[in-house]
Amino acid sequence: MNDDTKGKSPYLSRRAFGRTALLTGAAIAAPAILGRAAFAQSADALKDYTSANIDWKREAGAEIMVGGATHPWSNAVTPFIPQFTALTGIKVTTDFRSETEFLTALPIKLASGSTTPDVFMYLAYGQGITAGWLEPLNAYYGNKDLVDLAWYDEQDVLKPAREYPLWRDGERYAFPITAEAQTLYVNKAMLDQKGLATPKTFDEMLKVARALKTSTTAGIAMRAKAAGNATFPLTGFLYSYGGELMKDGRVVYDSPEAVAGIEMFTTMLREAGPIGVSNYDWYEALGDFMQGAAAMTSDTSNFATDISNPTKSKVSAQAQFAGMPTAGDKPSRPNMSCWQAAVNAKSRNKNAAFLFMIWATSKATSLQTSARGLATTRASAWESDGFKKAFGPQAAEAAVLNLKNADADLAKRVRFHPQSPQILNELAVGVSLALSGSESAASAMKKAAAKANAALRT
């Protein structure tokens, strides 16, 4: 025993005991106190939900898994999931991965008969329906315990989004969770410097792109990679020139109108695009625009959240958001898309999964997620101050205009086809060949359409 420890009792003194007991008690009580505080806070927020005539607690104790891509929707919804659990007693686990990884693995998992994820984000709608992976939802909408239609107010859902998941037999297999329309983004400062106005037609757009192309700056950057999921921007060009991807069950992206659209898209990128554009995915196009390395880009309205964020974007102050240009006297037809969320047909907790989606797409949740910049499917959320602040009022206005001009039916024809990944891949490969200049747009699209049609089974 050394001098320091000499004379010290191995037992606690009365004061030390009291102090320890107090701290231990506080430590034990803390979660309960904080939990009550949190619950009190969420109970307040839950009022918007408990006013609905829905038996939120009917599936209490169930556990569901929500699968999806790392995406503005999953990022915006995740922080509010504890609120859903407090409301329903349903425990939620999430499995969010990169978009490519998620979309590649999901069909394999569903085809193997997996009961999870119970709810999942989905794009290739037709593929899922014909394969029987998606639960038909009309019967659930008719169950008064699960949904209060007056409270849910489906008329508040933007029309293209509302119509998007309607299958040809009138059945619904999914909830639209985002509404995205192709938007034109321009760097106003660059245009002003050359005395150019925001283009309203494709010819003007080409002229602006050529004028702003320098050895260090691209006139325009858009995704053009030879992959099906990189076809979003070029499809808006094709539609606006009067072309279609599919008609009467056949691939028709080799029509003269479609070829004219592809011709404009590839010419613009070849003459004014960045070096290496043929390998560009959306993040390269967005990155170039945000860094001021490209004067224009055209892609999903969701880009606006990042472009307007000064911590991410160098051009947040000079970016302008515009409607999709027109080709001659043809109407503007921007591409549009809705990410959807479906209930797994093999799920063991379908009611709980349905309740989750009713909660996630409700007005109240949409207001909360839209304040984080998520472009939801609800008009009330789009008009909210929170959304306009996070997304930018001008961006919101442009996105609404483009959504109004978009034709959901055109987009659905290919997305709803059971072989849509292959149809879009052949389109991407054809455009890639036209962009490289190794083939004319007409010849490349003719071959691409022939290949896609030969692969179609239905």
Nearer to another protein, 330 or 451 (CB): 451
User: Which member of 81, 123, 259, 277 binds another protein (CB under 8 A)?
Assistant: 277
181: left (phi over 0), alpha (psi -120 to 50) or beta: beta
Contact call for residue 180 and another protein (CB under 8 A): no
Contact call for residue 425 and another protein (CB under 8 A): yes
- Asked if 282 and 262 count as a contact pair (C-beta separation under 8 A), the reply is no
- Asked if 71 and 122 count as a contact pair (C-beta separation under 8 A), the reply is no
DSSP 361-384: TSHHHHHHHHTTT---SBHHHHTS
Residues 198-227 that bind another protein (CB under 8 A): 225-227
- Asked if 452 and 251 count as a contact pair (C-beta separation under 8 A), the reply is yes
Nearer to another protein, 64 or 428 (CB): 428
Stretch of 198-206, 392-400, 405-413, 433-441 contacting another protein, by CB under 8 A: 433-441
Tell me which H or E stretch contains 246: strand 246-247
Nearer to another protein, 121 or 221 (CB): 221
Contact call for residue 127 and another protein (CB under 8 A): yes
User: Which member of 69, 77, 87, 124 binds another protein (CB under 8 A)?
Assistant: 124
Alpha-carbon torsion 364, 365, 370, 371, what sign? positive
Q: What are phi and psi of 110, to 5 degrees?
A: -70, -40
Stretch of 17-25, 246-254, 380-388, 435-443 contacting another protein, by CB under 8 A: 435-443
231: CB partners within 8 A, 6+ apart: 424, 427, 428, 431
How near is the Cβ of 124 to another protein at its closest, in Å?
8
The one-letter code for the residue type at 109 is: K
253: CB partners within 8 A, 6+ apart: 238, 243, 244, 245, 262, 427, 430, 445, 448, 449, 452
Stretch of 148-156, 255-263, 277-285, 333-341 contacting another protein, by CB under 8 A: 277-285
Nearer to another protein, 41 or 279 (CB): 279
Whole-number Å distance between alpha carbons of 87 and 106: 29
Binding track, positions 77-116, relative to another protein; x by CB under 8 A:
---------------------------x--xx--x-----
- Asked if 416 and 126 count as a contact pair (C-beta separation under 8 A), the reply is yes
How near is the Cβ of 9 to another protein at its closest, in Å?
57
Q: What are phi and psi of 387, to 5 degrees?
A: -70, -45
How near is the Cβ of 138 to another protein at its closest, in Å?
22
Contact call for residue 422 and another protein (CB under 8 A): yes
Contact call for residue 418 and another protein (CB under 8 A): yes
Nearer to another protein, 317 or 455 (CB): 455
Q: Token match 């038909």: residue?
A: 136
Contact call for residue 386 and another protein (CB under 8 A): no
Whole-number Å distance between alpha carbons of 78 and 324: 32
Q: What are phi and psi of 319, to 5 degrees?
A: -75, 140
The one-letter code for the residue type at 318 is: Q
Burial class (CB in 10 A: 0-12, 13-18, 19+), 87: buried
Residues 45-64 that bind another protein (CB under 8 A): none
User: Which member of 31, 35, 132, 310 binds another protein (CB under 8 A)?
Assistant: 132
Contact call for residue 134 and another protein (CB under 8 A): no
User: Which member of 117, 128, 219, 243 binds another protein (CB under 8 A)?
Assistant: 128
Nearer to another protein, 72 or 421 (CB): 421
Q: How many residues bind another protein (CB under 8 A)?
A: 39
Stretch of 34-42, 70-78, 79-87, 422-430 contacting another protein, by CB under 8 A: 422-430
End-to-end Cα distance, the chain: 89
Contact call for residue 70 and another protein (CB under 8 A): no
Q: What are phi and psi of 281, to 5 degrees?
A: -105, -175
How near is the Cβ of 220 to another protein at its closest, in Å?
14
Binding track, positions 320-359, relative to another protein; x by CB under 8 A:
----------------------------------------
Stretch of 64-72, 76-84, 346-354, 419-427 contacting another protein, by CB under 8 A: 419-427
Contact call for residue 130 and another protein (CB under 8 A): yes
Whole-number Å distance between alpha carbons of 26 and 42: 23
Whole-number Å distance between alpha carbons of 303 and 185: 9
Provide the token pair at 171: 């059945």
Stretch of 9-17, 27-35, 268-276, 332-340 contacting another protein, by CB under 8 A: 268-276
Contact call for residue 443 and another protein (CB under 8 A): no
Tell me which H or E stretch contains 162: helix 159-163
Residues that bind another protein (CB under 8 A): 104, 107-108, 111, 124, 126-128, 130-132, 225-228, 274-279, 284, 288, 293, 418-419, 421-422, 425, 429, 432-433, 435-436, 438, 451, 455, 457-458
